Every structure is written in C-alpha cells, then in structure tokens.
Structure 1
Amino acid sequence: MPRDMTESPTPLPQLRKPDPTDGADIWALIQSCKPLDENSMYANVIQADHFRETCVLAERDGEVLGWISGHMIPDEDTLFVWQVAVSEKARGLGLGRQMLSELIGRGACADAAKLKTTITKDNKASWALFRSFARGIGGALSDAPHFQRDAHFDGQHATEHMVTITLPARDTLAQAA
C-alpha cells in the first residue's frame, strides 16, 4: 500500500551536548548496539559530564538515538573518538556522519588537525562510517594495528586498528558541511 503523501516525514534527531542525567539512556543505547563494548553506566555519566564538550547526543522526542563519546588527546592536536552508537530506529539517516561533523565543528575541537579512532577489522559498519566521513570532508584516512590481541588484550579481544583522518582546515570543513 502506498504511503500517504500527506503524512509528515519523521523529523531528524536533534544533536546536542550531553548532560550527566543522560548517562542511563546512553548506557541503554550502547547495550542495544552490539558489538560495542559495554562500559559501566557510571562511565557514561562521567563522559556526559566531564567530556560533554567532545561528546554528541542525538535525540528525537526525548529518546536517545545516537551517541558519540570522544576527547581531545592531551598535548596533541587530535580528537579521539571512543564510541559511536546509532539506534536501529535511526540507521540509514546518515546520523553517524552528522554527529561527527557536529563534533569536529565545535570550539572544543578547534585545534584538532586529526581525528583518531580504533576499529577492529571485522567492524564493517565503523569502517564504512569513517571512510565515508573522511571522503565527505576531503580528509585522508590511514590505519595500522595499534592495540594488539595478545600484547594488550591477553588474547581476549581482536586487534584494534588505529584509524587516523587528517582534518582539512576549518574554513574547508565549513564548506564541506
């Protein structure tokens, strides 16, 4: 049956800085986004409080649909993205790229010349997101094994590749957005 054309489209999630009271909702979102590492709820409360300037929350009608946690690496010109979570309800909207763009456009990330994240080789969704994001902003992407299965994870976790995206100058970023 064709969709009723008078029906209004679903509004896009709104992006904002998190608040510590969002911690439980962030934790629940991450729980629903396998295979993301499940940190404690307390860790998400701390991220939403201490690192709110470098984290992004996406919500629609009070429901948390997306989350990026990150931080500026001390003494470096690098933004590190720790986790990206997008609810099944919001997949296919380009929300991950929107949240990354929001994040690198913030004043707290103004000194970032690079964006780094770690991804296991089998995480196709993350590879696709970061490759697409790099192409979209005109940044170069490189990767190399970083946290190794045996040396860092006692054989309990797949090797994490450090992905580095060089960020264009801020005026170029503004034009790409």
Structure 2
Amino acid sequence: MTAAQADLARARNEFHRADPPAIGIDTPRVEDGAAIWRIARDSEVLDLNSSYSYLLWCRDFAGTSLVARDTDGEPIAFVTGYIRPQRPGTLVVWQVAVDRAHRGRGLAGVLLDALTARLAGDGVHTIETTVTPDNTASDRLFASYAQRHGASLEREVLFDGGLFPDGSHEPEVLYRISPIAA
C-alpha cells in the first residue's frame, strides 16, 4: 500500500467513525447534475454555475470528479475537476462542496483524497485550484491536504478581482499543491 492509499484508508476510517451511516463514493452520473447544482447553490461560498453546466460536468468530466452518496444513493457531496490541457500532470479542482447536513466530518477531504489517489496512477502529480480570500473552509481543506500528503503548497493571485465583469468579485488565488503520489 502506498502512502497516498494509506492516507485515503485512514481518512475513510476517520469519516466512518464520525458518521455511522455508510456513504458511497463514486463517479457522478448525469442524473446527479441537479443535486450537485443544489449543493453548490446552498454552499453560499461557491460561484454558482448554470444547472446545465453541472449536467455537462457529470457527463464530460465524470472521470475527474467524484460524488459521495448517502444510504439512499442521493448525492451529499462532490468534487469536480479536470486535467489541465497545457499541463497533463495537473488536476484542476473546480469545486468541492458538502451538503449542509453532512458538513464538519471530513467528507470534503475524503473526496479529495479519493480523487487524487485515483488519478495519481494516471500521471497526475499536481493539484491546482483557486480560492477567494474569504473562503476559509477551502483554504483549510487544501492546506490540510498538502500537509497530510507532505506536499508543498504555493499561493499566488491568478485573477485579480478587477478582471471580473461584475466588479465586486474577490481575487481568485491559485493554490498549487505538488507533488502528489500514487
């Protein structure tokens, strides 16, 4: 068992001890798009994309995304990502969100660990994501991921707030975590 697989097993065990009902983690399906959109909307921190885009995401980027399901098979959390075309070893994490009723138990970290463990064997060695300065939950998620995996975390402003057409968007800070290992 690799170190990343051991981290994933430990994270799953810690989550299950804190959350008695079993969850399932798998690839999103198109039918999950509406629930994923709702979870993103209700997060109150993510930029909400159109409902159509979440349907497309579940179809076109399912291989680089994961969904957590409750015992009834309903989505309760998700992580979406894609492989950066100019850097095929880089996973861009687009969004991570957990339904309000399931927050605070480490599920976002479990999903991120599971996704990167799955993709590391395909040559992914770096994670990139952007976080606004006011999103402390995402900052903690990615900082703890880097620490848990012994990876470096670099931060730099990717898009200044003034680039956004609405004029009131905070800057998007690029987080680059590397290396991640299989």
* TM-score between the two structures when normalised by the length of structure 2: 0.83
Q: Does 1:75 align with 2:86?
A: yes
Corresponding residue number in structure 2 for 1:54 = 64
> Helix, strand or coil for the counterpart of 2:21?
coil
- How many residues matched? 162
Larger of the two Rg values belongs to structure: 1
Residue segments in structure 1 that go unaligned for 5+ positions in a row: 1-8, 171-177
Residue segments in structure 2 that go unaligned for 5+ positions in a row: 1-18
Q: How does 1:32-47 map to 2 (within 5 A)?
A: 32-47=42-57
Corresponding residue number in structure 2 for 1:65 = 76
User: In structure 2, how many angstroms separate the alpha carbons of the residues matched to 1:121 and 1:153?
Assistant: 19
Corresponding residue number in structure 1 for 2:27 = 17
Report sequence identity in percent.
35
User: In structure 2, how many angstroms separate the alpha carbons of the residues matched to 1:93 and 1:105?
Assistant: 20
User: In structure 2, how many angstroms separate the alpha carbons of the residues matched to 1:106 and 1:122?
Assistant: 30
2:64 touches 2:119 (CA, 8 Å); kept in 1? no
User: In structure 2, how many angstroms separate the alpha carbons of the residues matched to 1:160 and 1:147?
Assistant: 5
User: In structure 2, how many angstroms separate the alpha carbons of the residues matched to 1:91 and 1:74?
Assistant: 32
Q: CA RMSD in A?
A: 1.6
* TM-score between the two structures when normalised by the length of structure 1: 0.86
Q: Does 1:143 align with 2:155?
A: yes
Cα displacement (A) at 1:106: 1.6
Corresponding residue number in structure 1 for 2:179 = 167
**Range with bigger deviation, 29-38 or 157-166:** 29-38
User: In structure 1, how many angstroms separate the alpha carbons of the residues matched to 2:139 and 2:165?
Assistant: 21
Q: Does 1:126 align with 2:138?
A: yes
Which structure is richer in relative contact order (CA contacts within 8 A, separation 6 or more)? 2
